[in-house]
Each structure stands twice: as structure tokens, then as C-alpha cells.
Amino acid sequence: MENYKNIKELIEYSKSGILSKVIFKDEKNDITLFCLGEGTEITEHTSTRQGFVFVLEGDGIFNLGGEEIKMKSGVMIFLKKNVVHSIKVSKNTSFILVLFN
């Protein structure tokens, strides 16, 4: 396993839809890069783990338990387990998702 990754070099978008790349994974932690093409939506869902999203670039809305959070570069969104959330982006948007126990 590499000791470092340049996240900006890993960002790529499809015309529409989602590309995801696992950055790191072990028995307790998952770190994944998500790249959502313009107009992409991720419907409501939950996670059995807590974590956070760190937005790298883009523009969208992250709905967290009914609260709409503007997705823009530098925003960090904290996720508690079992909270309903969804995403809708208006232009290409990338973020890191970190899940842990």
C-alpha cells in the first residue's frame, strides 16, 4: 500500500452518474472518494456507521435528516449512524467520505 495519495489527481467525472474510488480500508475505517457528475442524485439512505463528508469541489445540496447543507469546497458534514441523508448536485462535485466505528 502506498503511504500517500494525491486526491486531486484521482478526481474524474463521467457525463452523469457516480464514480467512487476506495482510498483506504481496514477492519474499522473506510475512506472513499466520490465524484458525482452534473445533475446526479443519490436518493435517501442511511448508514450503520458514523463518519463525515469533506467536499473537495463542486456545487450541490446534502440533505441530512431534513436539513439542507450547501456542498462547496471545504465544507465538512458530520454523519451520525442511521440518519437519513441524500445528495443532489448541480455541477460536477467530489467529496471524501470517511466511515468509522
**Sequence-distant (≥ 6) Cβ neighbours of residue 78 within 8 angstroms:** 52
Owning domain of residue 95: 17-100
pLDDT bin (cut points 50, 70, 90) of residue 50 is very high
Mean pLDDT of the chain: 95
CATH number at residue 88: 2.60.120.10
Asked whether residue 54 is domain-assigned, the answer is yes
**Sequence-distant (≥ 6) Cβ neighbours of residue 64 within 8 angstroms:** 77, 79, 83, 85
CA nearest 53: which of 7, 6, 1, 98?
98
- Average pLDDT estimate for 15-30: 93
**Sequence-distant (≥ 6) Cβ neighbours of residue 9 within 8 angstroms:** none
- Residue-wise pLDDT for 57-83, tens only, equals 999 999 999 999 999 999 999 999 999
Asked whether residue 11 is domain-assigned, the answer is no
- Number of independent structural domains in the chain: 1
- Residue-wise pLDDT for 84-95, tens only, equals 999 999 999 999
| CA 3/CA 97 separation, integer angstroms | 19
